[in-house]
Amino acid sequence: MGERGATALSVHGLTVSFRTGEGLLQAVRGLDYSVARGQCLGIVGESGSGKSVCATAALGLLDKSADVRGSIEIDGRLLSELTDEQKRLLRGRAISIIFQEPSRSFDPIYSIGKTFEETIRAKEASVSAAECRSRAVKLLGEVHIPRAEERLKNFPHQFSGGMLQRIMIALALANDPEILVADEPTTALDVTIQAQIVGLLRELQVKRGLSLIFISHDLRLVAQIADRIMVMYGGLVLELGDAEEVLRHPRSPYTRALLDSVPEWGSHYSAGNLISIAGAVPNPVRPEPGCPFAPRCGLVRDECRARLPDLLEAPGEPAIAAERAGESLVHGMTLYRCVVPGVKR
């Protein structure tokens, strides 16, 4: 397995494109990030930002029609050097994922117990049924499903959305992964359940020393759980920094705009309009040259449209080499992509 370094996952120069009927869809256009052991990285973005793709690429879950370039290192091992079989074993044991719609993530004709059995046996073929069952009960206990022993016999449709998501988390942890990717895990759930799931993920992260990648479109939600936040737009990183810092002192105009789009708690329309952003999210099939946010940015200048701004290190020193982005481990460091240094409101 290799010695345990401080970095659980490290991604350099990631580009992902898909060949579609309409042309080349560039989902991710050059990304560097890393996650330390026991750390939570939050990836925030809207539709088309590439946020899901940059994580599912790490699991090798992308279709053969996807063109994935760059290096992905999990626990010190380069993905590109592994065979398909080795990659398959890596999934679940080194890195695991939970998805958005819990009701669609289960095979409806298998009981929960059977699903656990299948998941455990996929990586360890020789585990007995009784052993699978007892492991399942333990896992369900960790995610606070009451009467776990009984409920192993139940089918997915007999659980609520929130409980299914918790079972999903338990399944993802069944093979003891080091890294857990949560792709919009609460978007389809009610807000009161959302709070519980986030709380549960935090608890598990601490208890098991998991590295967590939490993907969402909700910046404020991500700030609840993430240590570091990466804001994506149009397939690129626009800001990367400590959660509190990104939230309180956003440097990228896009992050600022995202925060402004949602009404402040307690505000009312009678007091004034929301600061809204005109336009729509960019089309990943035909990315414009220059900054992806330029068409909608309030501070846009000509140079923004001409070429892609580099990543700057706050508080606005001249461009640092992009490799530093890979050192997401470094707390206190904020990177953002804008030609206007130190933009604050």
Least spacing, CB of residue 240 vs other proteins, in Å: 18
Query: Taking CB under 8 A as the rule, which mask of x and - marks residues 283-322 in contact with other proteins?
Result: -------------x--------------------------
Q: Does 199 bind other proteins (CB under 8 A)?
A: yes
Least spacing, CB of residue 223 vs other proteins, in Å: 6
Q: How far apart are CA 21 and CA 295, in angstroms?
A: 25
- Using CB under 8 A, pick the residue from 30, 87, 196, 300 that binds other proteins: 196
Q: Does 101 bind other proteins (CB under 8 A)?
A: no
Q: How far apart are CA 242 and CA 258, in angstroms?
A: 17
CB neighbours of residue 50 within 10 Å: 25
Instruction: Count the site residues for other proteins by CB under 8 A.
Output: 50
Q: How far apart are CA 80 and CA 87, in angstroms?
A: 9
Binding segment toward other proteins, per CB under 8 A, in 26-34, 79-87, 189-197, 299-307: 189-197
**Looking at beta carbons only, is 149 or 203 nearer to other proteins?**
203
Residue with tokens 């929130």: 162
**Looking at beta carbons only, is 109 or 278 nearer to other proteins?**
278
Sites for other proteins among residues 123-142 (CB under 8 A): none
Look at residues 124, 16, 99 and name the one whose alpha carbon lies nearest to residue 63: 16
Residue with tokens 């993430």: 226
Sites for other proteins among residues 31-60 (CB under 8 A): 46-47
Residue with tokens 């935090």: 202
Burial of 111 (0-12, 13-18, 19+ CB in 10 A): middle
| Contact residues for 239 (Cβ-Cβ < 8 A; gap 6+) | 229, 230, 231, 246, 250, 251, 252, 254, 255, 334, 335, 336, 337
Query: Taking CB under 8 A as the rule, which mask of x and - marks residues 316-345 in contact with other proteins?
Result: ------------------------------
Residue 304 tokens read as 């923004």
Q: Does 263 bind other proteins (CB under 8 A)?
A: yes
- Using CB under 8 A, pick the residue from 273, 302, 318, 332 that binds other proteins: 273
| Contact residues for 29 (Cβ-Cβ < 8 A; gap 6+) | 15, 50, 234, 235, 236, 287
Compute the Cα dihedral for 323, 325, 329, 333 and give only its sign. positive
**Looking at beta carbons only, is 108 or 279 nearer to other proteins?**
279
Would you give the distance in Å from CA 312 to the centre of its chain?
23
Q: How far apart are CA 24 and CA 296, in angstroms?
A: 23
- Using CB under 8 A, pick the residue from 129, 147, 267, 286 that binds other proteins: 267
Q: Does 198 bind other proteins (CB under 8 A)?
A: yes
Q: Does 217 bind other proteins (CB under 8 A)?
A: yes
Least spacing, CB of residue 315 vs other proteins, in Å: 21
Chain contacts with other proteins (rule: CB under 8 A): 19, 21, 46-47, 64-65, 144, 160-162, 190-196, 198-199, 202-203, 217-221, 223-224, 247-248, 257-258, 260-263, 265-269, 273-278, 280-281, 296
